[in-house]
Chains A and B, each alone.
Chain A
């Protein structure tokens, strides 16, 4: 039985060309590919989003955490020519081409979820299985007024990133924010301020996420939908919408869980998803 090497951000960091974008990603492990796509908050990155999942997944798969265009160490990108989810999905396909990967399992959270769903719709021959957590792209809620509380906080933070703003964001980002330390907040703020070009590009973008509702039924991939019952960013009825629209799908809802299921319930999440992928 192999010992788990402790993965580090530096030790797994890579860059590659994806179309005309220079893209950063973290990679570990061998075998079939699993790509994990992060959410859209300020300072988000593949590594920060999936820090509790990367190790376990890399024990069974070639795990890739991609920084989306406009995030982390990837190139900044103003979104005008198309919806953000489509530009993201194209960048993922270009990255897979560059890395010579034919097919991948794709896991996506929030904005990454909308991206993953778009990828499954646009490039059905390039995807094995699909996992969506608190995925965006679901359009209107019929149960809650939008924008949701968390989305409003994100918008405010993009306009004016402050420590207090991050504190307020994390409080509602997860169900139990007692793990939040000042160090963590400083880190998140630092990550954000380190890339003023990302903030600038986002402010200038004229297109954001699409309403994928009319397209969801086109997804052929086996899909696992995961949601936090207490999600204050993307409403619970969207989970049902995905479940009804995607032909081969199932839904798992964690209680006492907000918008970061893969972190808040990391043990259960890893087991659930690894089992799903292995089936």
Chain B
């Protein structure tokens, strides 16, 4: 519970357009890209280390850090929506790795990126799994910004273990399931690249959205899609899950109760089972 369930495979780097993208890779077979969410100290391995082994047993599993996160190049994004920039970066990455088509499992901000990818590069995508993704615009049931969303800025402005802990506790249904070691590891990751925080803040004040509202384009998503949500999510509102299951042509929505914004961590076994079955088609 305290250590990640698997040791991280060796770090690799791929040139992806103008970005050098850091990633971990394991397993063989059909490619699967796993995209993490935003937040200070976030990176691919931190997000998916409890799921990696199960997926690598069945797929060529690639877990990158987004531009501006982890050990990938940092970036200030002011001219285009962030999800456009990231989606392009991952398309470029696939080109570099000579991957024609991939499944994508994507979380939160990564989910918004994956939605954009599904819309812009449908020929590169097989199946899509979105874990409480951004991209849904406004909630009709909850005031925005969400309670969890509001805990982000304090960390960016004043990165300490305390502000980070507060943010991470909002991420999950039961803060007791997040050991102090996890927060310390995330804090360390965050402080390794302080320019990421500064640049994310700078990007947030630009007139382009971090996450576009893709509500009006959901019908363009051709991929078979599994949506996953935590009933108790204090970041991405539940009504977005409904919005997506209505808007995306071939979709199904699964909601875990007693789950916050990190179901792949909070309900690892059920998550792995559901997603692996879905990807198998």
- A–B contact with Cβ pairs below 8 Å: the answer is yes
A residues bordering B, Cβ < 8 Å? Answer: 143-145, 148-149, 229-232, 235-237, 258
- Asked if B141 and A145 sit within 8 Å, CB to CB, the answer is no
- Asked if A145 and B234 sit within 8 Å, CB to CB, the answer is yes
B147 on the interface (CB 8 Å rule)?
A: yes
B266 on the interface (CB 8 Å rule)?
A: no
Residue of B nearest to A150 (CB): B147
Task: Name the A residues within 8 Å of B5 (CB-CB).
Answer: none
A232 → B minimal CB distance (Å) = 6
A214 → B minimal CB distance (Å) = 22
Task: Name the B residues within 8 Å of A231 (CB-CB).
Answer: 143
Task: Name the A residues within 8 Å of B260 (CB-CB).
Answer: 145
- Asked if B233 and A145 sit within 8 Å, CB to CB, the answer is yes
> Contacts A143-B239, A149-B147: A236 and B141 contacting too (C-beta < 8 A)?
yes
The number of inter-chain residue pairs (CB within 8 angstroms) is 28
Residue in A145, A230, A236, A258 whose CB lies within 8 Å of B232: A145
8 contacts between A and B (CB under 8 A): A143-B141, A143-B237, A144-B141, A145-B173, A149-B147, A232-B147, A236-B141, A237-B141
A7 → B minimal CB distance (Å) = 33
Question: With the chains together, A237 CA to B141 CA distance in Å?
Answer: 7
Task: Name the B residues within 8 Å of A258 (CB-CB).
Answer: 143
A141 → B minimal CB distance (Å) = 9
Question: With the chains together, A260 CA to B233 CA distance in Å?
Answer: 25
> Contacts A145-B231, A145-B232, A145-B233: A229 and B143 contacting too (C-beta < 8 A)?
yes
Question: With the chains together, A237 CA to B260 CA distance in Å?
Answer: 20
B272 → A minimal CB distance (Å) = 24
Of residues 111 through 155 on chain B, the ones whose CB sits less than 8 Å from some CB of chain A are 141-143, 147
Residue in B142, B147, B238 whose CB lies within 8 Å of A236: B142
> Contacts A145-B231, A145-B232, A145-B233: A230 and B143 contacting too (C-beta < 8 A)?
yes
Question: With the chains together, A231 CA to B142 CA distance in Å?
Answer: 8
User: Nearest 6 pairs between A and B by C-beta?
Assistant: A143-B141, A145-B232, A230-B143, A149-B147, A144-B142, A232-B143
Question: With the chains together, A229 CA to B142 CA distance in Å?
Answer: 8
- Asked if B238 and A143 sit within 8 Å, CB to CB, the answer is yes
Of residues 230 through 246 on chain B, the ones whose CB sits less than 8 Å from some CB of chain A are 231-234, 237-239
B185 → A minimal CB distance (Å) = 26
Residue of A nearest to B257 (CB): A145
Task: Name the A residues within 8 Å of B142 (CB-CB).
Answer: 143-144, 235-236
Question: With the chains together, A95 CA to B142 CA distance in Å?
Answer: 38
Question: With the chains together, A144 CA to B232 CA distance in Å?
Answer: 7
Residue of B nearest to A141 (CB): B141
Interface centre among B147, B231, B239, B260 (most CB of A within 10 A): B147
B234 → A minimal CB distance (Å) = 6
A169 → B minimal CB distance (Å) = 14
Task: Name the B residues within 8 Å of A235 (CB-CB).
Answer: 141-142
Task: Name the A residues within 8 Å of B173 (CB-CB).
Answer: 145
A204 → B minimal CB distance (Å) = 27
Q: Can you add 10 more A-B contacts, CB < 8 Å, to A145-B232, A235-B141? A: A143-B142, A143-B237, A144-B237, A144-B238, A145-B234, A149-B147, A230-B143, A231-B143, A232-B143, A236-B141
Residue of A nearest to B242 (CB): A143
Question: With the chains together, A145 CA to B256 CA distance in Å?
Answer: 13
Residue of A nearest to B143 (CB): A230
Task: Name the B residues within 8 Å of A145 (CB-CB).
Answer: 173, 231-234, 260
Residue of A nearest to B170 (CB): A149
